[in-house]
Amino acid sequence: MAEGLADRGYLPGPRISRVYSRWAKGDWGALLTGNIQVDVRHLGGYGDLATRDYQAEEYQSLNAWELYAEACQEHGTPAIAQICHPGRQSPRGAGERGFLGQTIAPSAIPLHIGDGLAASIVRSIIFGCPKAMSQSDIDRVVAQFVNCARVLAQCGFSGIELHAAHGYLLSQFLSPRSNTRQDDYGGSAERRARIVLDIIQQIRNVVPATFCVGIKLNSADHNASDFEDTMTQIQLFSDIGVDFLEISGGSYEDPTMMGRGVRDESSNAKDQSTVAREAFFLDFAIQIRKRFPNLILLLTGGFRTREGIEAALKAGVCDLVGIGRPAVLRPDFPRLIMDDKAYSNREARAVFSKVPVPFFARLLQIKVLGGGAETEYFRGQIHRIADGLPTYAP
* DSSP-assigned letter for residue 47: T
Q: What's the rounded mean pLDDT across residues 218-247?
A: 91
Res. 370 pLDDT band, cuts 50 70 90: low
In a domain, 2, yes or no: no
pTM: 0.91
Q: What is the rounded CA–CA span in Å between residue 43 and residue 84? A: 9
pLDDT above 90 covers what percent of the chain?
Answer: 75
- The count of other CB atoms within 10 Å of the CB of residue 304 is 21
Helix 367-386 with 14-24: angle, nearest 10 deg: 90
User: Which residues are 31's β-sheet partners?
Assistant: 79
Q: What is the rounded CA–CA span in Å between residue 366 and residue 371? A: 10
Contact (Cβ atoms closer than 8 angstroms) between residue 84 and residue 35: yes
pLDDT in tens, 204-214: 999 999 999 99
Name the residue among 249, 258, 248 with its Cα closest to residue 357: 258
pLDDT in tens, 283-299: 899 999 999 999 999 99
**Residue 293 φ then ψ, to 5°:** -65, -20
Residue 275, domain CATH? 3.20.20.70
In a domain, 69, yes or no: yes
**Residue 230 φ then ψ, to 5°:** -65, -40
Task: Tell whether the model's pLDDT for residue 199 goes beyond 80.
Answer: yes
In a domain, 392, yes or no: no
Query: How far is CA 310 from its chain centroid?
Result: 23
Query: Across the chain, where does the E strand assignment appear?
Result: 31-37, 49-50, 79-84, 104-105, 131-132, 159-164, 212-218, 244-248, 297-300, 320-322
Q: What pLDDT is attached to residue 237? A: 98
Domain count, the chain: 1
Lowest mean pLDDT among 50-64, 125-139, 219-233: 219-233
In a domain, 3, yes or no: no
In a domain, 393, yes or no: no
Query: Residue 183 class from Cβ within 10 Å (0-12 exposed, 13-18 middle, 19+ buried)?
Result: exposed
- The range of the structural domain enclosing residue 369 comes to 8-386
In a domain, 148, yes or no: yes
Q: Report the SS3 class of residue 46.
A: coil
Task: Tell whether the model's pLDDT for residue 274 goes beyond 70.
Answer: no
Task: Tell whether the model's pLDDT for residue 354 goes beyond 80.
Answer: yes
Contact (Cβ atoms closer than 8 angstroms) between residue 23 and residue 17: no
In a domain, 271, yes or no: yes
Task: Tell whether the model's pLDDT for residue 225 goes beyond 90.
Answer: no
Lowest mean pLDDT among 74-83, 169-178, 237-246, 357-366: 357-366
Task: Tell whether the model's pLDDT for residue 195 goes beyond 70.
Answer: yes
In a domain, 394, yes or no: no
Q: What pLDDT is attached to residue 277? A: 62
Task: Tell whether the model's pLDDT for residue 131 goes beyond 80.
Answer: yes
Res. 172 pLDDT band, cuts 50 70 90: very high
- The count of other CB atoms within 10 Å of the CB of residue 136 is 8
Burial readout 237-249 (b: 16 or more C-beta within 10 A, e: otherwise): bbeeebebbbbbb
